[in-house]
Each structure stands twice: as structure tokens, then as C-alpha cells.
Structure 1
């Protein structure tokens, strides 16, 4: 893998060594603020503060914990602002490390919250305590169809319930559409709808400054989870690959992701990620070619992961299974594999 060039070597080194990067003035009027994420290998989310005439707008917010709130407040203080100076919270997507603190920030500042409609419509099913049980049951049924043993399916279906505590459920004040100019004074910020990692994932591009705020869509080293689950679109990998092709068209000099570190070569990184998925698709076809029908779970156990399957924590096996399913669905749509429905569904090579 060719390494992309870090825009700030100290930030890259902090990621590499397991450290915590500094609050940084990236450009005039633009700040990078690392906000800690609890019990998570990503360690922090990079919140970007854009200076306005009367305060700041932030892109993403962090998890709803006191540690994260204090980290955001301290980062804003270094930049010369406070939570009360936040005028807008632009949320790239509804995962807790991006959306979780948005409601608390709005309570303190009166800021408006912006989110794409495709994610906004998922909020109640995902974070409303009265509806979470239904979502967990739908996940359990999906896992059973994938061939996960019943006891494991029960455990895996509720594996992410504990992160509900890190979200302050807040209905967005503004729905942001694809291509929309956000209208922040001093900034020509435009929204790019980039579904895949979530149905309503947004990136934000600033053409004059040649900057792309990429959320989780394009990262410097890791690839985001693209999975089939009860709240995903039918073919999320197809959505993701199309979204990658769309952002690749933009002439930007720097990519500002929500994790890891800022980097320079957008097109090269997009090409690598697309090639990575092609390799994974080919690997799945190879696994199926040597078998007489496999469940999604069985396929997942035979693939190459960052560690042996036996070493993958139980809760992460759900993501591995659902990512595998996203690739199988893509292959089926292309006529490269076929599915025989049942409990479990079985997949065959063609």
C-alpha cells in the first residue's frame, strides 16, 4: 500500500504511536480539535471549527460524555472561543462519535444542527429508547439469516446497545441536501452526499480553499465499515463505491477526515480504497468457488482479516459478518454470485 502524505507529520505520528494530537490552526480561520472517544480504538474524532463573523461552526461534535465535552470546550478555548460561540453543528453522519454531542452543544449555545435527510429519518429507530428493541430484533433476524448460531445471534444483535448512552438524541434543525451551499459567512462550503458508511453520510468541500472535510468517507489508513444492517440501504457497497467516484472528481489539495490525520492525495487514496474492495470481492468469489453453498457467516470466517478470526472480539464479528454481506449483495446484483433464500441463506459461485 502506498502511504498518502500527511498534511501534518506530528498529527500522523500521534496516530501511529497511540498518542493524542494537538489542537491545531490548520489555515487562517480553521482549527482541528481532537475530541476523545471512550473505549474505542479510534481514540478521538477530529472536530473542525470554522471561524465566522460572530463565532464558529463545527463539523461533527464527538460522543456525549463529559470527557468529550470538556475536550471540545478546551479545543475551542485554544482557538479563542467557547461552546457558547458555536453557531452551527454540521454532522457528517449519525454515528455516536460524530452526532452524540450535537444536542448538548445546541443546548449550551443555541446552534443549529444540520444532517442529511437519509440519516435524520433513522434517528428515532436508532436512539429512541422505546424503539431500540425493535431494531435489535431486526438485527437478530438478519444474523440468523446469515447463519450465525442462535445464541451468538442473540448476543451480537444487542452488542452496540451500550453506546446509546453516548448520544443526546437531537432532531436536526436543518436538513442538508446534496450539492447545497451551506451559507456560512466567509466560507463557500458545499455538501456532498456520500452514502455507504451510513445512508446519509455527508462530506463538505470548500472549492476556493481546495479542502475536503471527508468525515468517515475517506480516511488516511483504514477503510470505513460498509455493511448491510437493518438501517442500511439495500446495496450500501454500491452506494459507497459510487460516492468514492464522485468525491474523486473534486480538485482538492488537502483532505480533512474525522479520524487519524489530514492528508494530501485524495485521488490516490480513493483509488486504493476502491482496489481494496475489488480484492475483497475477488476473495469472496474464490471462497465460494471451492464450496457447495455457504452462509454469509461461514464466508466471513474464511476471509482475511487484520487478525485471525478466533482473535476477533465477539462484538466485532457482527461488523465483519455484515461487511461480508454487503460484498455478497454487491456480487449478487452484478450477477457474479447467487443466493438461495432460507435459514440461513446460502451463497453459491456462478
Structure 2
């Protein structure tokens, strides 16, 4: 018993020392207006006509929750109320719908066992798809959208609260039929440790990879194209997190390079890995930096590299935090820390 107590105390001390060495917490440039219940996951839509008018779409995760749409000043400009525990949300561009290309947002509605699809920026609903049909445990949680750069086919990768290792995630091909978005199951995949759950999913469209957080275990990597099979390409970050492995987002620096940022939830930091992998091994990802932030218990997050105006000239990082709000961070603050910490890596 004494050995156990000493071990826990030592681990706690080590975590505190590590946090102290990280320096000051990055402060958000913008804090959004409050939602009604509980923020969980954001998505970012880039306005093609004027990037400074881009939008943040966030989930309010409760039985009578919904989607909230914010401008870059954090003001609520639209909402979709009355959803039964919307969990995660993602956006994609150029979906073929009734003879034209539109942008879409897709969210999981956990208590209805559905994903719902909306046209962006109007937020008009254009489809609702039942997911994990025939399964005992359904409860959809995580979602990420993949657009194949060659074929322009669009897929939704959906996770759930409970599921078996090997088929925890289901991948749906999205199409339009008679004015509604439909989904066809094209793949069931995804190893699971059995420790907690799988919620956060992120897709790198350009490089063709899916990443997801096996929360009590690590980060897993697969091909995004279902034609390439279900082989697990990587498992990383197993010793890099205080407890839960949470929200994943990908920052593109060009030429196939960039950063994968993953929420170290209980430490209130984000761990950073090279998007392109370590030198000589595209499927080996070692932590190169850890960014201390002002978010508390952050779950979902998203990032873009687009110039959004004077506040965010190199892009914005958006994270859920306690207090019914989202935080917007100036990417330049993150890049400064990454550069400082990764020099010795």
C-alpha cells in the first residue's frame, strides 16, 4: 500500500514539474458567448468569398442541445436547437447536391442514433442518416469527414460510445438522392484497447490518413481510403498523456508537412507531433512540443492555417473548454512555442 501511495505522489509531482517548465499558459484571443449547456466539439468553416467572415460551428452536448454558429469575434450568429445530445461536428467542402457543389456540416446526434447533415452557411438540414444499424451499442459520438482528393467522394467516419475492437468505427459514403443526403456503409474498422472509449477522430484529406484517440491508451492511425484496407499504421502517444487522450486537429504547413495537435485533457495542454512523421518513418510520431493553454478539460478542437484577418493572420486554433464556451487562439502563439521546444528534437 505504501509503495502505491508513493508512486502516485511521485507521478503527480513529476506532472507538476513538467507543467511548470512549459512556461505561461497561452491566453485566448477570443472567448465565445456561452451556449445553453455544455460545449464539446468545434468545426471551422472558411468563407470562400471573405475569410474574415468565416464561422465556427460548435456542439452544445445535452438532451435539448444543438449546434451554435459563431463569428470570429465569438458572437452567436445562428443556431440549430432541439438536437438530442449532439456530440461532435465536422465540415467539408464541395459536396455534390442536386447538381451543384455545396459545403456541409455533419454532426452526431447521440440519443437518436443518427448523423445529421446541414448546408453551410445557412444551416438548413439536408439529411439524417441512422448509424450502426443492427448493433446493440450505437450511441454515435465522434465524427470526421474525408474527401478523397482524386475521386472527390465524401465519407463520414463515425465512432460510438461503446464498440468492439476491430469494428469500432464505421465509414459511410455520402451521396444525394431526391434532395436528401444518404449514407452507405463501406467499411467497419478500428482497434480498441477496451479501456475507455473512442471519441475524437480527425482526417488528413491530403495525405489520406485517419487518426483517432483510444482515450485511455493512445492515438491510432489508419488509411482514410477504404480501398486501402484496415491495417493499423501506427499507435503513438502512449506515454505522453497525463490521463485521457482527447481532441485531435491537424495544422498544414505545406508540402505534406505540419502538426498533429492532441488534447492532453487533464494537464490542460496540447501535445504536438509532426504530421509527416519522424525523419525516415512517416508512421512514427514522436512528441515534439507541449503547449500549455487556458482551456480547462478540453475535449474537441480544430485548427486552420488560413489568414482570417488581423487577429488570426496565420490561422486559428479553436478548443472547447469548461464554462459553456469555446476559446480561439492565434496560431502565431502556438507556432512560437513549437519552434522553441522542437529545436532540440
The TM-score with structure 1 as length reference comes to 0.32
Q: Look at both structures and tell me which one has the larger radius of gyration over its CA atoms.
A: 1
The TM-score with structure 2 as length reference comes to 0.33
Which structure shows the higher strand fraction? 2
Which structure shows the higher helix fraction? 1
